Amino acid sequence: MLVIPAIDLRKGRCVRLYQGDPEKETVYGDNPVEIALQWEQLGAKILHLVDLDGAFTGLSQNAKVIGSIGEKVRIPLQLGGGIRSREAVEKAISFGVSRIIIGTVVIETPELASELVRDFEERIVVGIDARDGKVAVKGWTESSTVETVELAERVEQWGVKEIIYTDIKKDGTMQGPSLDGLEEIISRTSLQVIVSGGISSKEDLISLKPYGSRVKGVIIGKALYTNQLTLPDAMAIFD
């Protein structure tokens, strides 16, 4: 199981939000490139980048930073946030991003999303962000009427192999992962899942071990930045 550090980008800085609320922001660094290099040096196998400006507005203010991270680090990058067109996918790839996360486009323009899955195959990962069992879009600022597990079943039919599942109410709270939501997805699909949101302790990570055959990785943000967990200690749990 991969332990994946998160780097959330807003106006060129590394930040964390509480439950995705842009009014509840904590800045953890003005140089995301240095932070990315630190995670790489500590042993990270992949980094999770989120373009929050892109997610909220559809317009990125972080292209330069993302490109610099792509130039400097040698480990794979996955990027989400505001990727709602073929051009955005191609631009991310040109920055050195290995895996592109799509979310809003899956709900708003499913025909395009299914084409992206077909054309870019396993480079496309679907991000399913849940609030009370429904899928949220546009940087979590809007809720859809689509149920989380319904969307998981739909994208699996398109050929998607892997999703990133985030319980928004857990994100940034350090209250542990949403196992109920995870279990529902696992029981109704054969998708591989990366879990995101709420991880705060070794105990939280240990709680995911029984799902090891289906949970490919876990994304950790705030707990790493506040030293609740260290990356080597977190990785050691799954070694």
Catalytic residue among 129, 167, 171, 204: 129
Mean pLDDT along residues 147-172: 90
Per-residue pLDDT for 173 more than 60? no
Mean pLDDT along residues 137-161: 89
pLDDT class for 139, splitting at 50, 70, 90?
Answer: low
Closest CA to 89 of 118, 68, 63, 120: 120
Residue 108 contacts by C-beta under 8 Å, 6 or more apart in sequence?
84, 137
The predicted pLDDT at position 135 comes to: 92
Mean pLDDT along residues 215-219: 96
SS3 breakdown of the chain: % helix, strand, coil, rounded to 5?
A: 40, 30, 30
Q: What percent of the chain has pLDDT over 90?
A: 77
Mean pLDDT along residues 24-52: 96
Are 116 and 104 contacting, i.e. CB atoms less than 8 angstroms apart?
no
- Has 8 been annotated as catalytic? yes
Mean pLDDT along residues 141-149: 87
Mean pLDDT along residues 97-104: 96
Which domains does the chain possess? 2-230 (3.20.20.70)
**Strands (E) located in the chain:** 2-10, 13-18, 21-29, 47-51, 77-80, 99-102, 124-131, 134-137, 142-147, 162-167, 192-196, 215-220
Catalytic residue among 8, 51, 53, 171: 8
- Has 129 been annotated as catalytic? yes
pLDDT class for 198, splitting at 50, 70, 90?
Answer: confident
* Whether pTM exceeds 0.85: yes
Closest CA to 5 of 157, 180, 226: 226
Query: What's the pLDDT tens digit per position in 44-95?
Result: 999 999 999 998 888 788 999 999 999 999 999 999 999 999 999 999 999 9
| Measured distance CA(195)–CA(231) in Å, rounded | 16
Query: What's the pLDDT tens digit per position in 219-233?
Result: 999 999 999 999 999
The predicted pLDDT at position 171 comes to: 61
